[in-house]
Amino acid sequence: MPLLPLPLPKNLEEVYSAGAFVQAGIDAEFTKQLGEVEATEFNFQPSPSADGTTELDQKVQVRFNTAQGIRDFPGMRLATIKDGILTWCAEGARQAPIAEFHEPQPFEFSLLNIARFLVGNAPVARVPQGDHEAVVAIAFNRLPHDTATTISLGLERFSGGIDERLALLNLAQARRLEAESAPGNAKGGATAETITLSDGTSVHLSAKDAPGGQRIIGLRTAHSGVLPEQVLADAHFTAVEHQFYLESRFPDAAVQFDAATATAMLSTSTGSTPVDAHLIATVDSDEFTWAWADPDYASTHSARASFNLQRFGRDNWVPDLVRPCLPMEWAKDAFLPQIAMPILGAWTLLTVPLGEKTGILLASSPTLTLPAPTPEVAEAVLAVDLPAGCDAERARAAYAANRGVASW
C-alpha cells in the first residue's frame, strides 16, 4: 500500500525523530567532504538596521581550515544560549506551528537537533558570540548516495530515543523516494511491517508493542543486506549442540574472567581449564550494551572481537549489531549472542559477574571443540525449536555444514 506524504510534526518529540536519519546522513557526508579540520572561524554579519542580539536569521560566514585547504560556507544563526536558556532567533521558529518554538526553552542538547529541522537538517554548531553562545546552521544538506547505509548511521547514533518509522519516512521524503507498506512475514518472526522504498531498499519493522517499542530490525537492498533471522538460522543448531556439550563436559562450571588477557577459567569439581573468551556485551540492570560501546571495557583486549560485530552490522546492515545499547528483553528476544556466534566463529556462551554488571562471553578452545557428530546427538539438537522467523531448511543445512556432514 503506498504511503501518503507526511504531515508536519505536531510536537518537539516528532521533530526530533523526523530529522534523525537525515541528520546522521548529512553529518557523515559533511565530515567526508571536509576531511581533517584544523581550525574553524565564525564571522557574524549583523544587519545595520537590526540589533545583533535579537536579529532574526542573522547571517554568518563559516570558514573551515582543512588539510585540503580553506572551505567557506554561508551560515545562519538559529538561536542564542545564555544562562542555560535557549532563545530562538529564526523566522522559521516564528512560523512553526509548535508552541515551544515561540518562547525561550531550558537548554537541552536535543534542542540542537530540533533546531536543525528548521533549516532542512543542515549541520549546526554552538559557538561563542559576545556574552552568549549562538546556534549556527551551516548551509550543507547533501546526503550519502546509499539509503541503507544512512539508516544504519541513524540507528547507531539515535537508537532507543526516536520513532524509527517516522525517521525512516522523513529520510525517504528527503531523498524524494516513494514508500510502500506491506504486512510482515506470514511465517511468523519479529517483522510486523515491511516498508519498501522506490530505490529498492527494504526495511523490516517490529510490531508497535514489541519490547522497546517499534523498531527497525532488518535492512536489505535489491543486491545486498543480511537479515538477522538468516544469521540466526545459520547459528541456531550449532549453538545448541555447543551448549549441550558445555553442560555435559563442564557441569555447573564456575567462570573466572580476565578482560586484560581475554581468557576465562572454567572450574568444576574435577578441575579447571583455561579458554579464550571474547567479551561481546555487558548487562546492567535491564540494559544490554555491546562491549564495543561500553566505556568500561571497550579498550580491553577481550572486547576487540566485539568491534567485528559492529563492522559486520555496518557492512551488512544488521540494525541490532550497530545499536550501542538495547533493552535486555529486546536483546534476549532477538537472540543477539547466538547471532554473534557464526560471525566470530566462537560458539560457547558463558556469563560472568563484572562488578554490578554481567558479562556475556563467547568462548573457544580445544577443550570446547565438539566431538565427532553422532545421530543420537543430532536428533536431540534438531528437536530444539527454531526461533520464530527462521527458515528450517536453511538452519538444518547450516548445521550439517558446520558439523561436516552432507545432511541431517
Contacts of 372 (CB under 8 A, 6+ apart): none
Q: Are strands 132-138 and 357-364 parallel, antiparallel or unpaired?
A: unpaired
Q: Mean pLDDT, to the nearest integer, of 9-14?
A: 95
The answer, yes or no, to whether residue 186 has pLDDT greater than 50, is no
Q: Mean pLDDT, to the nearest integer, of 190-200?
A: 91
Residue-wise pLDDT for 91-147, tens only, equals 999 999 999 999 999 999 999 999 999 999 999 999 999 999 999 999 999 999 999
User: Nearest 10 degrees: CA dihedral of 321, 322, 324, 327?
Assistant: -50
Which is nearest to 280 in space by CA: 247, 237, 313, 249?
A: 313
Q: Do the beta carbons of residue 309 and residue 272 sit within 8 Å?
A: no
Instruction: With cut-offs at 50, 70 and 90, classify the pLDDT of residue 2.
Output: confident
Position 56: which residue type? Answer: L
Residue-wise pLDDT for 158-170, tens only, equals 988 899 999 999 9
The answer, yes or no, to whether residue 366 has pLDDT greater than 60, is yes
Residue-wise pLDDT for 330-349, tens only, equals 999 999 999 999 999 999 99
Give CA–CA dist 69/82, Å, rounded. Answer: 34
DSSP 3: P
For the chain, give the mean pLDDT. 93
Which is nearest to 218 in space by CA: 232, 234, 229?
A: 229
pLDDT at 223: 79
Q: Do the beta carbons of residue 340 and residue 361 sit within 8 Å?
A: no
SS3 218: strand
SS3 225: coil
Residue-wise pLDDT for 70-97, tens only, equals 999 999 999 999 999 999 999 999 999 9
Residue with the bigger pLDDT between 159 and 232: it is 232
β-strand partners of 60: 44, 75
pLDDT at 210: 78
Give CA–CA dist 363/349, Å, rounded. Answer: 6
Position 120: which residue type? Answer: G
Residue-wise pLDDT for 367-391, tens only, equals 999 999 999 999 999 999 999 989 9
The answer, yes or no, to whether residue 356 has pLDDT greater than 90, is yes
- Boundaries of every domain in the chain: 1-49+56-176, 229-403
345-352 long-range contacts, CB within 8 A, separation 24+: 346/276, 346/278, 346/305, 347/238, 347/239, 347/242, 348/242, 348/243, 348/245, 348/246, 348/275, 349/239, 349/242, 349/243, 349/246, 350/255, 350/264, 350/266, 350/277, 351/255, 352/255, 352/256, 352/257, 352/264
Contacts of 337 (CB under 8 A, 6+ apart): 280, 281, 349, 360, 362
Give CA–CA dist 49/76, Å, rounded. Answer: 17
Q: In this structure, what C-alpha cell is assigned to residue 116? A: 536543525
- The reported pTM is 0.91
pLDDT at 370: 96
pLDDT at 160: 83
pLDDT at 225: 81
Q: Which of 160-164, 178-182, 184-188 has the lowest mean pLDDT?
A: 184-188
Residue-wise pLDDT for 249-282, tens only, equals 999 999 999 999 999 999 998 889 999 999 999 9
Give CA–CA dist 184/403, Å, rounded. Answer: 33
Q: In this structure, what C-alpha cell is assigned to residue 121? A: 537538517
Q: Do the beta carbons of residue 304 and residue 265 sit within 8 Å?
A: no
